[in-house]
Structure 1
Amino acid sequence: MDVSLFNFHLPEELIAQTPLLDRSSSRLLVLDRETEEIKHASFPDLLGYLHAGDVLVLNDTRVRPARLIGVKEETGAQIELLLLKPLGEDRWEALVKPAKRVKEGSVISFGDGRLKAVAQEAADMAGGRVFRLEYTASDLEELLVELGEMPLPPYIREELAEKERYQTVYSRETGSAAAPTAGLHFTPELLNAAKEKGVEVTFLTLHVGLGTFRPVSVENVEEHQIHAEFYSLNEDSAAQIHQAKAEGRRVIAVGTTTVRTLETIARDYGKIQAANGWTDIFIYPGVRFRVVDAMLTNFHLPKSTLIMLVSAFAGREATLRAYREAVAKRYRFFSFGDAMLIT
């Protein structure tokens, strides 16, 4: 399957650079998979598409402010690190820029030396390296909140005025390098309104890595590899979702990360059950969905693994037609953009 099949024209001005003041004031495009009918709404209208007994599954991961700007002690050169994955004993896999200036043994200092990163072996990714962190603070996560910045995607060039706007209102498990952006539209009031309507709201965790957003550099889709990401689904949430499927009620996934987690567990265990581990599942047209009945997502990059996942769920032609209409109607795209509900 050729990657060019998932291309579409996107004017650069439609890439949302800043979040809306009101989280829930974004637009909502609704695509019916059976009829391929497209409707245009606003995000609070989502409540009208939810039914009593539906299970709404959200990813409660929290983005780590792991973008660090420091200096190389030997030369004073400015170096940027993006911490990606803890390896234990204060060793981290990280992206480094400029990578060519950092060799094994180089020491990068942050916050006047309150945090130091000692370069070790190269990591298995372009621009990647393992670092050993040295710090005197009692809690590294608190230190990162103080010294770090949000690792915004490269297509966002505007400065983020408030860090919490790149977190969902229900985030609680720190570990992501990027936000599960479909959830950014929700407010506590909207979630409470869904519960009052009889919708069950439950959570899982998938720590979003950069592999999800890595460009597809091969022509043949099937040859692309996704970097593994950690997921976790607890007993209570698993029981809710399993019972809903047994009773024929809908499971509605908020975001592609939630879709990937649920479909990983169903693939690996034959059913939904409590589980945790690492997933590198790659969903593209032809892959069968076992759990998800409806999906809420944002609008994704051309030729990305995310639009391939959406195309697998809604059909490639219907997805691209919806995207063309979103462009024509001037929807906002990507992380801080508008939303799409596929039923």
Structure 2
Amino acid sequence: MRTSDFYFELPLNLLAKYPSQERDESKLMVIHRNNKQIEHKLFKDLYQYFEEGDTLIINNTKVFPARLFGNKEKTEAKIEVFLLRELDPKDRTWDVLVDPARKVRVGNKLNFGYGLTGEVIDNTTSRGRILQLHFEGSHKELIKKIKKLGKTPLPKYINRKPEKYDEERYQTVYAKKEGSIAAPTAGLHFSKHLLKKLEIKGINLVEITLHLGLGSFFPVEVEDISKHKMDSEKCFIDEYSCKIINHTIQEKKRICAVGTSSMRAIESCVSSSKNLNPFYGWTNKFIFPPYNFSIANSMITNFHIPKSTLLMMTVAFAGFDLIMKAYQIAIQKKYRFYSYGDAMLIL
């Protein structure tokens, strides 16, 4: 398939700039692959579609306050620095994006205040730089300082300053392991109350970790989607989680990947016998149609923007015609799209 096949007209007013008032009261579109039926529910109705012994796979990554604002030495020009990943804790070097990039060159020094400074030591891409941070203190104290100065890294399309509530709402209620620079957005709809209802019903909630970078959100710039390269993201799946998931496979029960990040993680660790293996490492798995999924037989995801890798994975799971029809219905019924938007359950 071609990238242009995944284009559709998306009204800008459907891009969600704010979360729903309550997490689990966002809209939920339910798609049945077997009979092509589409239902319209609220997310809090999710538990009705699962039974005792079913398994939901959730990504417990936690969003890092990755957006810093500093000033260039001498000129005092304001520079935004987006911390992508730490490269070397000893050297305190980070892979970053800078804005405006034209003002940031190798050798430039940035002052973030409160004793934290940085020096640009290399270029990586048009906006990418390697930044060496300088701070009088231990590595632990440095990270603490970054968290204090850093802001919630809301997606650019939201186009507003982060509010206090974003610190909580741009984070799942089950977030544990810090390392993402973007939220696993399908999980944002779960409330503690809904999780409890699922638990009481005997549904397994299995945690895996995939730290999201910006790779999933970068536009596909080639027409032949098979030539698109995903950035690598760190992934952790332990033996206990594999045991529960593999038992659910054996029992022929429902396994639901909560979000494209969970799906990408589990599809990166499949054994030759179609079971899940423990994994600790990096994955650059890119799932696009046609694709045979090995672990999950259902999926929760948000509504994605045109020509995105996230839409391509959703199409691979449910079929092109069904998903594109569902998206047109979503637009007609004013479902909200993207990170703070509404959700879809594919069965």
**TM-score normalised by length of structure 1:** 0.96
Tell me the secondary structure at the aligned position of residue 235 of structure 2.
strand
Measure how far apart 1:136 and its partner are.
3.0
Amino acid in structure 2 at the alignment position of 1:41: K
SS in structure 2 at match of 1:155: helix
Alpha-carbon contact 2:50-2:254 (below 8 Å) kept: no
Aligned position for 2:106? 104
Identity %: 42
Are the aligned partners of 2:71 and 2:78 in contact in 1 as well (CA < 8 Å)?
yes
How many residues were matched structurally?
Answer: 341
Q: Which residue of 1 aligns with 2:44?
A: 44
**Structure 2 runs not aligned, ≥5 long:** none
The alignment partner of 1:266 has SS state of coil
Instruction: Name the SS of the counterpart of 2:107 in structure 1.
Output: coil
Say yes or no: does 1:236 pair with 2:237: no
Is residue 305 from structure 1 mapped to residue 306 from structure 2 by the alignment? no
- The 5-angstrom pairing of residues 1-343 of structure 1 reads 1-88=1-88, 89=90, 90-112=92-114, 114-123=115-124, 125-138=125-138, 139-161=141-163, 162=165, 163-266=167-270, 271-343=275-347
Q: How far apart are the structure 2 equivalents of 1:156 and 1:137?
A: 35
Q: Deviations over 1:142-196 (max 9, x none)?
A: 2222111111111111333221110001101111110000000111111011010
Residue type matched to 1:195 in 2?
Answer: E
1:267–1:224 distance in 2 versus 1, CA, 3 Å: farther
Contact (CA 8 Å) 1:137, 1:143: kept in 2 or not? no
Deviation at 1:110, TM superposition (A): 0.6
Q: What SS does structure 1 have at the residue aligned with 2:106?
A: coil
Q: Over aligned residues, Cα RMSD in angstroms? A: 1.4
In the alignment, the residues of structure 1 paired with residue 136 and residue 50 of structure 2 have an alpha-carbon distance, to the nearest angstrom, of 49
Query: Structure 1: 5+ residue runs without aligned partners?
Result: none
Secondary structure of 2:269's aligned partner: helix
When normalised by structure 2's length, the TM-score is: 0.95
Compute the displacement of 1:7 (Å).
1.1
Distance 2:162 2:20 in 1: 12
Q: Segments of 4+ in structure 1 off by > 6 A?
A: none
Shift of 1:270: 5.3
Kept in 2: contact 1:120–1:130 (CA 8 A):
yes
